[in-house]
Amino acid sequence: MSAPLKVDRISCRYENESAVNHASFEMASGDLACLLGPSGCGKTTVLRAIAGFQPLIQGAIYLDGRCISSTSTVVAPEHRNMGMVFQDHALFPHMTVGRNVSAGLFRHSAADARRIVGEMLERVRLGDKINKYPHELSGGQQQRVALARALAPSPGLLLMDEPFSNLDVDLRERLGQEVRELLKDIGTTCVLVTHDQQDAFTFSDKVGVMRDGHIEQWDQPYNLYHEPASVFVANFVGDGVFLDGTIASSSEVKTELGLHSGDLVTDLPVGTQVDLLVRPDDVIHDDNSSQSAKILKRSFRGESYLYTLLLPSGGKVLSLVPSHHDHAIGEDLGIRMEIDHLIVYPKDGPTCPLD
Instruction: Report strand pairing: 341-342 vs 263-264.
Output: parallel
- How many secondary structure helices (H) and strands (E) does the chain include? 8, 22
- Position 350 scores a pLDDT of 38
Quick one: the chain helix, strand, coil %, rounded to 5? Answer: 25, 35, 40
Distance of CA 269 to CAs 248, 263, 265, 292, 352, Å?
9, 15, 12, 31, 10
Packing angle, helices 139-151 and 169-186, rounded to 10: 20
At residue 110 the predicted structure's pLDDT band, cuts being 50, 70 and 90, is very high
The Cβ of residue 39 has, within 10 Å, a number of other Cβ atoms equal to 7
Q: Is 267 helix (H, G, I), strand (E, B) or coil?
A: coil
Of 83-87, 146-150, 249-253, 272-276, the least confident? 83-87
How large is the average pLDDT for residues 215-231? 94
- Position 52 scores a pLDDT of 96
From the number of C-beta atoms within 10 Å of its C-beta (0-12, 13-18, 19+), residue 287 rates as exposed
Q: Does pLDDT of 354 surpass 60?
A: no
C-alpha to C-alpha distance for 246 and 320, rounded to whole angstroms:
25
Q: Is 106 helix (H, G, I), strand (E, B) or coil?
A: coil
Packing angle, helices 110-123 and 139-151, rounded to 10: 140
**Tell me, which fold does domain 240-346 have in CATH?**
OB fold (Dihydrolipoamide Acetyltransferase, E2P) (2.40.50)
The domain ranges of the chain are 5-235, 240-346
pLDDT, tens digit (0-9, with 9 covering 90-100), for 52-69? 999 999 999 999 999 999
pLDDT, tens digit (0-9, with 9 covering 90-100), for 247-300? 999 999 999 999 999 999 888 999 999 999 999 999 999 999 999 999 999 999
Q: Is 141 helix (H, G, I), strand (E, B) or coil?
A: helix
Ramachandran sector of residue 152 (left: φ over 0; alpha: ψ -120 to 50; beta: rest): alpha
**Max CA separation in the chain (angstroms):** 79
Of 116-120, 169-173, 225-229, the least confident? 169-173
CATH superfamily of 5-235: P-loop containing nucleotide triphosphate hydrolases (3.40.50.300)
How large is the average pLDDT for residues 155-167? 88
C-alpha to C-alpha distance for 76 and 68, rounded to whole angstroms:
8
Q: Does pLDDT of 352 surpass 60?
A: no
The pLDDT > 90 percentage for the chain reads 81
Query: Does the global pTM surpass 0.95?
Result: no
- Position 1 scores a pLDDT of 58
Of 44-58, 130-144, 339-353, the least confident? 339-353
The Cβ of residue 82 has, within 10 Å, a number of other Cβ atoms equal to 23
Asked whether the beta carbons of 261 and 251 are under 8 A apart, the reply is yes
At residue 90 the predicted structure's pLDDT band, cuts being 50, 70 and 90, is confident
From the number of C-beta atoms within 10 Å of its C-beta (0-12, 13-18, 19+), residue 111 rates as exposed
82 beta partners = 157
Distance of CA 326 to CAs 285, 299, 321, Å?
11, 11, 9
Q: What is the mean pLDDT of the chain?
A: 92
C-alpha to C-alpha distance for 64 and 67, rounded to whole angstroms:
9
- Position 64 scores a pLDDT of 94
- Position 228 scores a pLDDT of 94
Asked whether the beta carbons of 88 and 137 are under 8 A apart, the reply is no
Report the alpha-carbon angle 230-234-237, nearest 5: 130
